[in-house]
Chain A
Amino acid sequence: MQDFFELIVSGFASGCLYSLMGLSFLLVMRPTGVVNFAVGQYAMLGGFAAVAVMTTILIPPIALPYVPGLLVVLALMALLGAAVEWIAVKPLVDRGAPPVASMLSLLGVLIVLLEVGARFGGTEALPTEPPFGFRRVEFGPFAGTPQSLFTIAVTLVIFAAVWLFFERTLWGRAFEAVSLDRRAAQLMGVNLRLVTVSAFASSAVVAGLVGVLISGTTGAYYQVGMALTVQGFTALVVGGVGRVDGALLGGVLLGLLEALVMRYLPVSSSMTLAVPLVVLLAFLVLRPHGLLANRGGH
């Protein structure tokens, strides 16, 4: 049983990262219908940006403390997200191209970002100083590390904030309105440009945050993006595409499932990354709307 309670904590913490990646997908997908597979590269760049801003490794003169450093990184990510929209999406939308055209051009962005990351950060894993350590902490039957609890706490705060924004604020409802009926929302006077740009910017911020969290645990690494992309997308599909609470549920379930499968089923441990793919396929076939049904609209 000791193993089980340890797995709950570490699976939950990994799952939180998947949830945030799912949220990053969702933020763009809901208002624009575009699935942006480059979000994993945002996470990679966010990690390297954290290394650059918080440590002397990449840019020696700059070494900010965690919180200001985090804010700088997230601001940079917002700019990056907006720039990506402006360069790779807007020109297509202006010419009336369908969302799939944007998805393809964003795949190009993925390649470019990967290359930029490898050039800027190199191919070695680079660390930031995690705000909390990795010594075992026990609470009741559970055991984890301060860092994993930090990841969980940050994730829950982000999801609460995003949920409140979408459900309780007028502009949050406007985002929802755009995802339900773009034309009708436009006729309400919703500024579609603003919605689209903020969607891309906030998506990059959330994925960048994942990168920052990972840079403190396993280091910023140029290949971190692809696995996160698969895990995040799976979280989204499992939870129910289009729902904020679904992304959280899906990610956490996936993290727990991954951990439990690895521990208790007789499969090779090198197959960990196949778990999300199998889950993804199963859901696409058996329950394409995810665990939480979409609340209509499309």
Chain B
Amino acid sequence: MLLVENLVAGYGAAKVLHEVSLEIARGEAAALIGPNGAGKSTLMAAIMGVIEARSGRIVVDGTNVTGHTTHSIMTRGLSLVPEGRRIFAPFTVRDNLRMGSIRLSAGRPGFDERLDYVYGLFPRLKQRESQLGGTLSGGEQQMLAIGRALMSNPRILLLDEPFLGLAPKVIEEIQAAVRILQEQGLTLLLVEQKLDIALNIASRACVLIKGSIALESSSDNLKARSDLDDLYFSLAEKAA
């Protein structure tokens, strides 16, 4: 469903991604793991068309979207929950969700339907509907960020470290929501630092080291490895 082939990308003179290839099947939940600075967020940005691919290609459902603008990639069914949530603090919860619906082609009825869906998934957002985004708790803000990304009715949802800095109880809550999305057939790509959380959700994980995929493995296989740092270190050694 989502295919990344030999993707090279970076910022300015710095090349961050070196020929990354990745494939995610319809309905699959995959995790992208790797140490800080490996290029995980850059890969997300490149897939979404926020930064340009210098070479390689990105294919969604058989259509080459390399070089497309973000909004046209979104109309292909991709949506990203960005790292750090990036909600619009001075906007109400509802206005944040409206922003997420801007690429929704179904118009007003479609919006109402998506809004009900998101409120169903995160009932707390409905309670806070007219509160300003900036006044929400961290967990609620993350729910809002996910809800907002879901407003465009995506078929593939990219989540960039959605659990970062959240209390365990909130992580549970959000994990439960993600699982519901998964059960409903949404294709997921989760960027995560914590292996246990990643493997809880994803059936397969790709390990990104220094801008290259160093390892691809099923979750069950990876669960056997106890020490993630060790894994990263040995993979990095191998890459060097």
Contact = CB atoms under 8 A, between A and B. Distances in A.
* Chains A, B in direct contact (C-beta < 8 Å): yes
Interface of A: 96, 170-171, 173-174, 176-177, 180-181, 183-193, 295-297
A92 to B, nearest CB: 14
A41 B203 CA distance: 61
Contact of B102 (A174, A180, A193): A174
B103 A295 contact: no
> Which of A171, A180, A181, A187 has the most CB atoms of chain B within a 10 A radius of its CB?
A187
A59 to B, nearest CB: 40
Interface of B: 12, 48, 50, 69-71, 74-75, 79-80, 82, 86-91, 95, 98-103, 134, 148-149, 152
Given A177-B91, A181-B88, A187 B50 contact: yes
Given A187-B70, A189-B74, A191-B69, A297 B89 contact: yes
Nearest to B84: A184
Contacts of B95: 173
17 contacts: A171-B102, A173-B99, A174-B102, A176-B88, A180-B88, A180-B90, A184-B82, A184-B87, A185-B99, A187-B48, A189-B75, A190-B71, A190-B99, A190-B102, A193-B69, A296-B89, A297-B89
B103 A188 contact: yes
Nearest to B73: A189
A113 B99 CA distance: 37
A181 B91 CA distance: 12
B129 to A, nearest CB: 15
Given A187-B149, A192-B70, 18 more contacts: A170-B99, A173-B91, A173-B95, A173-B98, A174-B99, A176-B88, A177-B99, A180-B89, A180-B90, A183-B86, A184-B86, A184-B87, A185-B99, A187-B86, A190-B99, A191-B69, A193-B69, A296-B90
Contacts of A183: 50, 82, 86
A183 B69 CA distance: 13
A41 to B, nearest CB: 31
Contact of A96 (B12, B74, B91): B12
Contacts of B86: 181, 183-184, 187
Contacts, number: 68
Given A181-B86, A184-B82, A170 B70 contact: no
B90 A189 contact: no
Contacts of A181: 86, 88
Contacts of A96: 12
Contact of B98 (A170, A185, A193, A295): A170
A183 B80 CA distance: 11
> DSSP majority for the A interface?
helix
B88 A177 contact: yes
A107 to B, nearest CB: 25
Contacts of B80: 187
A189 B90 CA distance: 19
> Which of B71, B79, B82, B134 has the most CB atoms of chain A within a 10 A radius of its CB?
B71
A188 B90 contact: no
Contacts of A184: 82, 86-88
Nearest to A190: B102
A192 B98 CA distance: 17
A173 B94 CA distance: 12
Contacts of B103: 188-189
B86 to A, nearest CB: 4
A189 to B, nearest CB: 3
Contacts of A171: 102
A183 to B, nearest CB: 7
Contacts of B70: 186-187, 189, 192
B211 to A, nearest CB: 20
B98 A187 contact: no
A173 B98 CA distance: 9
A185 B82 CA distance: 11
Nearest to B74: A189
B99 to A, nearest CB: 5
A1 to B, nearest CB: 43
Contacts of A180: 88-91
A292 to B, nearest CB: 13
A185 to B, nearest CB: 7
A188 B69 contact: no
A182 to B, nearest CB: 10
A181 B133 CA distance: 13
A165 to B, nearest CB: 14
B134 A170 contact: no
Contacts of A170: 98-99, 101-102
Contacts of B89: 180, 296-297
